[in-house]
Amino acid sequence: MLEELPIRKIIHVDMDAFYASVAQMDNPELIGKPIAVGGGETRGVISAASYEARKFGVKSAMSGRLAIKLCPELIFVKTDFARYTEISKQIRSIFYDYTDLVEPLSLDEAYLDVTKNKKGNPSASLIAQEIRVRIFNEVGLMASAGISINKFIAKVASDYNKPNGQKTVNPEEVLQFLEDLDIRKFYGVGKVTAEKMYQKGIFTGQDLKSKSLEYLDKNFGKSGRYYYSVVRGIHNSEVKPNRIRKSLAAERTFSENLSSEIFMLEKLDHIAEEVAKRLKKNDVAGKTITLKIKYSDFTLQTRSKTLAYFVSDKSLILETAKNLLYQEKLNNSVRLLGISLSNLNTDKGKKAKPKVDDKKSVSVQLRFDF
């Protein structure tokens, strides 16, 4: 028996190469040129790359050193989060003209529930198109969008016709769309998981759908239930206008590797100060302090301590971070340090997982207007 799921009209709007596009908009001389935001020729990690740079294989999270090898003409520009935040607010103000059910995922993407919208427009596809045109005319940037019955499919669809495009997956098209989808396109399936799925003969949504819940639980742990559900079009998460922040962090990549804890104390002081500023700005505090250490060989280590009380004061954060630093000997010289606070006073606990019935799949009303 098929499951009668709530049918919503969800739009996922994703700005195209947001950081890089803002840099090009603010400096027309960069338009049409390969640029990377953040990083540098010797140190650092790239935050974003323009589409011109992506043609050479340059992408976010790549070291600047590797990026310049791939694209010798690459231009590095500094990050400007104040500017990104300013632009993001302009874009969100456009969203709120259509619905109050807006769930930002980051500065450059958000979910919108337009099942009932302020314009009285029954077509989510036309709303998405109108929003994209307004973003271009009023802000000067291009956006892509995905439209479907739930957040998962909308997010997958927004990447389908990038840049400056949109994709609608109508209710009657959902199951076929998911079956035909390359497993690498499934939101929540990372590079490592995709390789594991390949090894087990899972290359498409149809391959994934052929696996039982027991098989997926056994081979993919807690994520197995999620994969089992989404490939059947089941994803009941609502658009949450007030997303609860789970953690807050700051980190620094150094121009030269540091080999002694003594040299790291000054760096930790600056990082703790930045974390404290962000905590104050967001009016939150946390109990769990985590020190992030990335070594010169790019291996990553974290050390955490949970306190009996919430903290937001720089001195307490710094003192705990220092203790974590001295907790054990460093494995190598260090290229990056970071401090994060989690277990925040905004946490309200996790909801119980919904039960999944092997025999259930998505059922939709085909006359539902998209």
Q: What is the DSSP string of 27-41?
A: -GGGTTS-EEEE--S
pLDDT at 367 (0 to 100): 42
pLDDT at 42 (0 to 100): 66
- The tens digit of pLDDT for each residue in 166-214 reads 999 999 999 999 999 999 999 889 888 999 999 999 999 999 999 999 9
Average of pLDDT values for 349-359? 44
User: What's the CA gap between 370 and 355, in Å, rounded?
Assistant: 29
- The tens digit of pLDDT for each residue in 114-140 reads 999 999 999 999 999 999 999 999 999
Contacts of 274 (CB under 8 A, 6+ apart): 250
103 is catalytic: no
pLDDT at 362 (0 to 100): 47
The rounded percent of the chain whose pLDDT value lies above 70 is: 91
Structural tokens at position 63: 């070291």
Q: Which of 3, 41, 109, 173 is catalytic?
A: 109
- Three-class secondary structure assignment of 248-262: EEEEEEEEEEECCHH
Average of pLDDT values for 150-158? 95
> Which spans in the chain are helix H?
18-26, 51-54, 64-70, 81-95, 124-134, 151-158, 174-180, 191-199, 205-209, 213-220, 223-230, 261-282, 314-325
pLDDT at 262 (0 to 100): 87
pLDDT at 43 (0 to 100): 66
The rounded percent of the chain whose pLDDT value lies above 90 is: 71
Where is pLDDT greater, at 27 or 370? 27
- The tens digit of pLDDT for each residue in 204-248 reads 999 999 999 999 999 999 899 999 999 999 998 899 887 667 888
For residue 11, count CB atoms less than 10 angstroms from its CB and return exposed for 0-12, middle for 13-18, buried for 19 or more: buried
pLDDT winner (highest mean) among 128-137, 242-251, 324-333, 340-349: 128-137
Whether the upstream peptide bond of residue 163 has omega within 30° of 0, thus cis, is yes
User: What's the CA gap between 229 and 235, in Å, rounded?
Assistant: 7
- The tens digit of pLDDT for each residue in 39-78 reads 776 667 888 999 999 999 999 888 888 999 999 999 999 9
pLDDT at 81 (0 to 100): 86
pLDDT at 359 (0 to 100): 47
Q: What domains are there in the chain, each with its CATH number?
A: 18-80 (3.40.1170.60), 172-240 (1.10.150.20), 247-344 (3.30.1490.100)
Neighbour count for residue 111 (Cβ, 10 Å): 26
Q: What separation, in Å, do the N-terminal and C-terminal C-alpha atoms of the chain show? A: 25
Residue 342 pLDDT exceeds 70: yes
User: What's the CA gap between 357 and 299, in Å, rounded?
Assistant: 41
Positive or negative: CA dihedral 332, 337, 338, 339? positive
DSSP letter string, 36-76:
EEE--SSS-BEEEE-HHHHTTT--TT-BHHHHHHH-TT-EE
Residue 365 pLDDT exceeds 60: no
User: What's the CA gap between 101 and 243, in Å, rounded?
Assistant: 11
Q: What's this model's pTM, rounded to 2 decimal places?
A: 0.73
- Three-class secondary structure assignment of 140-178: CCCEEEEEECCHHHHHHHHCCCCCCCEEECCHHHHHHHH
pLDDT at 84 (0 to 100): 92
For residue 263, count CB atoms less than 10 angstroms from its CB and return exposed for 0-12, middle for 13-18, buried for 19 or more: middle
Mean pLDDT in the chain?
89
- The tens digit of pLDDT for each residue in 258-304 reads 988 888 999 999 999 999 998 988 888 999 999 999 998 889 999 99
The DSSP symbol for 185 reads G
